[in-house]
Every structure is written in structure tokens, then in C-alpha cells.
Structure 1
Amino acid sequence: MRFTASTISLTVDDVTATQEFFTAHLGYGLQQAADGFASLTRSDAVDVVVLARGIEVLPPEQRDQRASGVILAFTLADGLREQEKRLRDAGVEITMPLRQEPWGERLFQVTDPNGVIVQFVEWVAPDTA
């Protein structure tokens, strides 16, 4: 098996709001869009498809569900503090401030207008205590 791409599909109430958040703040480009649908891409990250809740392309049992319980995490090579500052300065609410876990994960989170949680991670040496 050989994958050619990875995509996550998020069902939201307002496709345009998530599309604009990802393009304005996360560096995604709009690949395709139609009523109730947007396909977003970045060369260095998972593609994101945004679907409107209730859209008929979804199976009936999934149509009214929203993206929840999912954290879309991006690992950065460096510059985590700078990215938090950039997003904060752009008016994005930081919903989990920068913190470091004992196992070596440094992270912060933002939430898009539809409640999609986006986490930024940088790995550092774990606490040895």
C-alpha cells in the first residue's frame, strides 16, 4: 500500500469560517470549494476537507454530527513561542496557553470559529526529575 496524501474531514456549521481561519492563520491554501465544501492544502501538512453539517454527501447517520473530540495537532521543528505570539497578535484566542509536559511535549492550542481545536507541538528533552 502506498499513500499519496492524507486528509482529515471536518464537519462544521460554517464552512467559510473554518476555511478563512485555516487560510489566514495556518497557511493553508484553498484547493477547491463549492456550496458546503472546501478542500484546503499545505505541502507540509495533512490536507483538510471542510464539510457543512447536513450536507447530503455524508451518510445519513453522520450528517448532523459536528467535528468534536478531535484535536488537529501540528508538530513544529522550532519557533513554537513565535507562532503563539504571531497568532495572539493576529487576534486568535489562545485557548490553551503555552505549556510544557514532563514527557517533553511543549504545546499550545487555538480553537477555530467552529470549535475545531488546533494544537501546535514542539518536542524537547523530557524532565528528568
Structure 2
Amino acid sequence: MQITVSTVSLTVDDLSASRQFFTSHLGYREIAAADGFASLTRGDAAVDLVLLRDGAEAPPAVRRDRAGGDFALAFTVTGIEAEEERLRERGVAVTMPLRKEPWGERLFQVTDPNGIVVRFVEWAAPGQAGAGAYA
């Protein structure tokens, strides 16, 4: 088996608001859409996203009518200070300001209009155990 892409499927109340958030602020572009559904990609190492309107027929019945819960979408990035500043300048509310954890992780987070938490992570010391991956 060869995995060619990874995709996260998110159920949201306002599909249009989440689509706008991810395309306007986080560099995603829409590659497919239908009633209650949008597929987004960036074309880089970021995970693709499928947005499903809450209550739509597309997800299996067991997944319908369930929003993101305590799910967080995490991106390991470079230039974290600049990214936080860029998002603030675009009017995105930073829901957890940039901070550094004792184990070397630096992170901040934003939240999309449907409550999807998007966390940005950068490791303070390259080559440190766990560098390059969100833990």
C-alpha cells in the first residue's frame, strides 16, 4: 500500500464560513464541492480537508450531526511568529497566543467560525527529539 494523500473530514454547522476561513486565511483551495460538501487542498504537506455540513447525507449515519468536539487540526510550521502576526493582521482571532512549552514546542492557535481549533506548532531547537512532528 502507498498512501498518496491524507484527508481529515470535519462536520460543521456553516460550511460556507469554514470554507471561507480555510481558503482566505490558511492557503487552501477548493477542488470539489456539492450540496453540503467541500473538498479543500493546499498542494503541499498539509492534510487535505473535507468539510461536511452538519446533518448532510454524505457522512455515514453514525457520524452525522456531530461537530468537531475537542478535535484540533495541528500544523507544524516554520516562522511561527510571522504566521501569528499575518493572521492577526488579517483579522483572525488568535484564541491561544504564542507560547513556549518546557519541552521545546512553541505554539499558538486560532479557531474557525464553526469552532474548529487550528494549532500552529514550531520546535524551538531543530534536531531536538520529536522535532518536526506534533506531539
The TM-score, its normalising length taken from structure 2, stands at 0.89
Partner of 1:119: 119
Matched residue pairs, number?
A: 125
Aligned ranges 1:27-106 → 2 under 5 Å: 27-44=27-44, 45-76=46-77, 78-106=78-106
For the aligned residue pairs, the C-alpha RMSD in angstroms reads 1.0
Partner of 1:12: 12
Residue identity opposite 2:47 in structure 1:
V
Q: What is the alpha-carbon distance in structure 2 between the residues aligned to residue 42 and residue 88 of structure 1?
A: 21
**Identity of counterpart residues, as a percentage?**
61
Instruction: Please list every run of 5 or more consecutive structure 1 residues that lacks an aligned counterpart in the other structure.
Output: none
Could you tell me how far 1:43 is from its partner in structure 2?
Answer: 1.5
Q: What is the alpha-carbon distance in structure 2 between the residues aligned to residue 118 and residue 12 of structure 1?
A: 14
String of CA shifts for 1:78-127, please: whole Å, max 9, x gaps. Answer: 2100110110011100000000001010000000000000000111137x
* Off by >2 Å, runs of 4+ in structure 1: none
Instruction: Please list every run of 5 or more consecutive structure 2 residues that lacks an aligned counterpart in the other structure.
Output: 129-135
The TM-score, its normalising length taken from structure 1, stands at 0.93
Could you tell me how far 1:25 is from its partner in structure 2?
Answer: 0.3
